[in-house]
Each structure stands twice: as structure tokens, then as C-alpha cells.
Structure 1
């Protein structure tokens, strides 16, 4: 379990993290989301003892990370896949880490195979592609078979097969009862992988909620109905307690009734229905709306270039 209590981190006059509190529990994949500069990397570095809090504290299984004697046995992390000496081979890099953490060398071969690197185990890391370096970083995280895993942008550089592999890996690790904490800007992957979300902006907590609840909270959560008898059906549905408004594209946007209930009302009153579809915001849409006021680095709309 990871706990963050009233964490504040300043770099001179800049407050990167602002009294942030949350807990990451085992048995689920927790996604860590926020705009660029929101404080995600600082928070993860502080959890791992790489940065010192200005105030507050972070705990790993109830203790500070820096007090853990053999850290790879407790926490496996991938923050920077490039932090490897280029002159070492993948195997020698992992063997050095195994020795310093009192791990059996058999773990080296196992994680090389698990990450698909067995065939390049003796190749120098300087010749690795970005995706291969990423796999090596994941191998390091898995080396100590730890109960807690932290990944920062784990799909970076991976090919489609690799993306599916890491997605399934994280889910399987959580299913084993491990704590899995993953930061990513790739919303499509987070939607497929995470069970729970921690969302921050400008260093402060915005949301700490389940994936389904986060998406459900979006304003877009209705049923779109298309019918040649829109006014009549709108009156029928309103009488049943629904809220009905005209959709911009000519249909009816209905809230307060399920698609089944709407279908039953239409059928009972002889109303033809051409389309009946539940609409719900995607994770990306819900995230964009929630974090809009927290975006620090906003680019110019490309559609406005050249306009006067």
C-alpha cells in the first residue's frame, strides 16, 4: 500500500505539489492522471525517496521508502527507462541489481523471458531501441517480485504487441493482490487498464474515484433518440419523469430513463424510433473537462492559425 499524507513540495518559489493526500490500495490498477506540470512525477519521485518533501510524508507499507533495506523486494518502479549505463548488457545490468538486493540470479533469467528480452540479454543497452529500454526498465521493476509496482508512462516506445502485453501484465499483477500505480497521458490505455483514478492539477487533488464513477460524473450521460414524432415522444417521456431537450443534430437527448424504458414508452404508443443509443463521455472527454482549469501549458488552437 502507498500512502501520501499532506504532501507539499516546493522548488524555490514554485509549489510543485500542494498538500496532496491519497492512498493506493492493493488488488487494483490505480491510474495517476494530470496535465503536464501537475506534479505527478514529483509525487512519484517523493514516494521513492528521490525527492525530499517540503512538508508532509509518503509511506510504503507503513514506512518511509528510504528506510527499506532491500527496496527491490518491496517496490518495483519504472520512472526513467534511459537511466541505464549504455555499456552494460541487459543481463549484467539486472545481475548487478540482483546482487545488491540479495536476490537469486534465477530471477534475472525469469524477468528477461517475461519481458521478451531473452534474445538480446547479452546485447549492450546503448544499442537498444526506446521500446527495448522500456522493457528492460519493466524487467528491473519485476526483478524483486515486489508487492508494489509503480510505472511512469510504461507504454512509451512500445509497439502494439508490447502495449497489449504491458496492459495485461499490470492487470494480472493487480489480480494477484499487488499494488499497481501507473501514471500515463494515454487516455485510451488508462480506460482499458485502470480500475481507480487519482487525478491532480497544479499539485492538488482533483479526483480520487473509481473509473466508472469518474466517467459517470461527466455531463454527457444521456440517451439519444431519433424519431419522426419527436415532439409527441418528448411529451410522453416527460410525463414519465424524464428530462428531454432537443439535441443539436436533430434528435432528442433524454436523461432520467433507460434505453429500455424509452423503447417501451415508444412501442406502447406506436412511435417509430430510428435510433436509440446511450451516450456517455469517454475517459478522455471526462478528464479534459475536469482538468481544463488546471492546464498550465496550453498550446494555440491549430484551427485558428492564420485567422485575424
Structure 2
């Protein structure tokens, strides 16, 4: 189990991580989400002792990373897939890591097979694609057969088959009772992978809940098409129901209704002899929920127009 308590990191006048507290429990995949600049990587670096916190602490089953003897046997991490000497082969890189923590050499071939790199084990890591480097990083994280795993954007550079593979890989690790924390900007992928999410924005925790609770906060709307769209829209507004134009650029004009069910919209249209060509209930996607939740926490925005 990972316990993060009051974790803070200040650079001059900038507060990168602001009194963050959360727990990552074994047996589930926990997604660590947030916009660019939210503090995800800084938090993970502090967890591993790569950056010194200004305040707060992180413990792995009650001990800090610095207190772990042979830490690769307890905590495995993938923060930077390209963190490997380019002239070393994949096998040599893993043998070096194994030797540094007193891990048997035979484990190297085990993890190479685990991530599908056996056939390229003797090739220079500097010539690997980003996807292959990600797999090597996963092998390095697994070298000590640790109970706790931290992955930062582990599907970067992987093709669709590789993404499905790593999704199942992380689920298997959690099913074995391991503690798995994974950061990602691929929200749809996280909805298929994570059991729990911790959302951070501008260095502060915005949400800490199950994936079901996170997605259940999605707004329900009703999409309507009608040859009498203006008349229907006026009626809905007159009845105190929110209406806005559908922002889709393709297809015929439509409106989106907030705060009413399909039954309420249909009944109102029927009472006023309004023809409907479409009446459908919609749920905001995970991306829309995330964007709404982190709207005030985005550091950089694209210009409009």
C-alpha cells in the first residue's frame, strides 16, 4: 500500500504540489489523472525519492523509499522509458539492475519474456522504438517482482495491440494483490483499466473515488432534432429547461437539452403537436467529465478562433 500524506513541493514562488494526500490500495489499478502541469510527475518523483518534498511524506507499507533495502524488490517504477544507456543491450541493462539489488540473473530472461522482448534482448536499447522502450521499462519495473508498481504514461508509443496487452498486464498485476498506480492522459483507456482514480489539478487533489463514482458524475443530456426546432426550443426555455445548440458540425441542426428527461421533452412536444425526428438520451464521456472537473486547473489553453 502507498500512503501519501500532506505532500508539498515548492519551487521558489511556485507551488507545484500543494498538500496532497491519498492512498493507493493493493488489488486494484489506481489511475492518476490530471492536465499537463498538474503535478502528477512531480508527485511520482517525490514518491520515489528523486525529488525532495518541501513538506509531507510518502510510505510504502509504512516505510519511505529510502528506508527500503534492495528497493527494486519492493517498488518497481517506469517514469521515463528512455532512461537507459543507449549502447547497452536490453539484457545488459536488466542484468545491471538485477545485480544492483541482489536479484538472480535468471530473472532477467523471465521479465524479457514477460514483456515480449526476448527476440531483441541482445540489441542496443538506443535503437529501440518508443513502444519497445516502454516494454523495456516495464521489464525493469518488474525485475525485482515488487508488490508496488508506479507507471507514468506506460502506453506511450504502443500500437493498439500493445495498449490492450498492457491494459491486461496491469489488471493481472492488481489481481495478484499488487499495488498499481498509473498516470495517463488517455482517459478512455483509463476507464477500461482503472478501478479507482485520483485526479489532480494545479497541484491539488480534485477527486479521489472509484471509476464508477467518477463516471456517474457525468451529466445526462437529451439531443433533439425536429423540423420545428425553434418552436420546441422556445417552449423548453419557457418551461425553465436549459437549451443549447448542438455543436456537432455534421448532420442536420439539433439542440441539446439540460435538466430534462427524454420523456419530459417528448411529452411537451406531443402536447404542442411538434414533430420529432430524434429524441435521444446522452451521457457525457469520461473526457467531458474530466474536462469539466479540471476546467479551472489547466495551465495552458489553446487560443480560440
TM-score under structure 2 normalisation?
A: 0.84
CA distance in 1, matches of 2:30, 2:12: 30
Contact 1:3 1:23 in 2 (8 A): yes
Question: Where does 1:251-290 land on structure 2 (aligned, <5 Å)?
Answer: 253=257, 275=278, 277-290=280-293
Q: For residues 120-160 of structure 1, give each alpha carbon's deviation from its aligned partner in whole angstroms, at most 9, with x where no partner exists.
A: 00111111111111110011011111111110010111122
Uncovered stretches (5+) of structure 2, i.e. residues with no partner? 246-252
Contact 2:29 2:170 in 1 (8 A): yes
Q: Aligned-pair distance for 1:199?
A: 0.8
Q: Aligned-pair distance for 1:281?
A: 1.0
CA distance in 1, matches of 2:187, 2:115: 23
Q: For residues 159-207 of structure 1, give each alpha carbon's deviation from its aligned partner in whole angstroms, at most 9, with x where no partner exists.
A: 2211111111111111222111011112221122111111111111111
Match of 1:144 in 2: 144
Aligned length: 292
Q: Aligned-pair distance for 1:227?
A: 8.2
Q: Aligned-pair distance for 1:226?
A: 6.6
Uncovered stretches (5+) of structure 1, i.e. residues with no partner? 236-242, 304-308
Contact 2:153 2:183 in 1 (8 A): yes
CA distance in 1, matches of 2:256, 2:275: 13
CA distance in 2, matches of 1:163, 1:296: 28
Q: For residues 11-51 of structure 1, give each alpha carbon's deviation from its aligned partner in whole angstroms, at most 9, with x where no partner exists.
A: 22221111111111111111111111111111000111111
Q: Aligned-pair distance for 1:86?
A: 1.2
TM-score under structure 1 normalisation?
A: 0.84
Q: What root-mean-square deviation, in Å, do the aligned CA atoms of Structure 1 and Structure 2 show? A: 2.9
CA distance in 1, matches of 2:195, 2:38: 21
Task: Please state whether the residue corresponding to 1:207 is helix, strand or coil.
Answer: strand
Question: Where does 1:69-108 land on structure 2 (aligned, <5 Å)?
Answer: 69-108=69-108
Match of 1:240 in 2: none
Is 1:59 the counterpart of 2:62? The answer is: no
Match for residue 294 of structure 1 among 286, 294, 297 = 297
Contact 1:244 1:252 in 2 (8 A): no
CA distance in 1, matches of 2:97, 2:220: 49
Contact 1:227 1:251 in 2 (8 A): no
Match of 1:239 in 2: none
Match of 1:33 in 2: 33
Contact 2:221 2:256 in 1 (8 A): no
Q: For residues 265-289 of structure 1, give each alpha carbon's deviation from its aligned partner in whole angstroms, at most 9, with x where no partner exists.
A: 99xx9x9986554311111111111
Q: Aligned-pair distance for 1:106?
A: 2.1
Residues 133 and 251 (structure 1 numbering): CA distance in 2 closer, same or farther, change over 3 Å?
closer
Is 1:221 the counterpart of 2:224? The answer is: no
Task: Please state whether the residue corresponding to 1:87 is helix, strand or coil.
Answer: coil
Which stretch of structure 1 is more off in the superposition, 19-28 or 248-257?
Answer: 248-257
